[in-house]
Amino acid sequence: MRKFFLILTFVLVAMKAKEPLEVVSDKFASDENKHIAIFEGNAKATQGKSWIKAKKFIVFLDKNNSAKEYRAIKDVTFEIIKPKQHVKGSCDLLIYKVKSDTYTLEGNASVNDLLNKRKMSADRLILDNKHSRARAVSKKKGPVKLIFEVNDATVSGNKKNKK
């Protein structure tokens, strides 16, 4: 048990996050040779106000023991809250790449952007925060679906009145 807490503390310090990442699960395992920490069974990762829930949560570390990637696997739900971002969603697999600040959601992917009032669903969604880009791909279950609010705008300028 002591080793578990030492490893977990090591992982959290190595992430160098502004706020600590707390992961709670039924089981924990790590492999120092592979630079990986695995949390299984009712896994919930929380950082500040953001959270991710899944059956399994994996932290991949680089050679310097800094987090380079997170994976949430099976029955994934999440809420990400950052200064210019507030999204909720679900998928079968969520991959977050730290360096590129990119989320990839696969399988029954659905995202609700609460700030911009947009919803997306597809088999695969890629949200690139660094470049403010989003991509959606559907293969099996029909078309990509995007729902967004459109404000009616009046066009100013020269108008011809018809009588």
Over residues 82-107, the mean pLDDT reads 92
Q: How many CB atoms lie within 10 A of CB 85?
A: 15
* Residue 20 predicted with pLDDT over 60: yes
**Residue 111 belongs to some domain of the structure:** yes
* Residue 153 predicted with pLDDT over 80: no
Q: Per-residue confidence at 135, pLDDT binned at 50, 70, 90?
A: confident
Sequence letter at residue 116: N
pTM: 0.76
Q: Give the whole-angstrom CA distance, residue 139 versus residue 117.
A: 25
For 109-124, the pLDDT digits (tens) are 999 989 888 888 889 9
- Tally of structural domains, the chain: 1
Domain at 54, CATH number: 2.60.450.10
DSSP string covering 67-132, please?
EEEEEEEEEEEEEEEETTEEEEEEEEEEEEETTTTEEEEEEEEEEEETTTTEEEEEEEEEEETTTT
**Residue 156 belongs to some domain of the structure:** no
Distance of CA 146 to the CA centre of its chain: 18
Q: Per-residue confidence at 104, pLDDT binned at 50, 70, 90?
A: very high
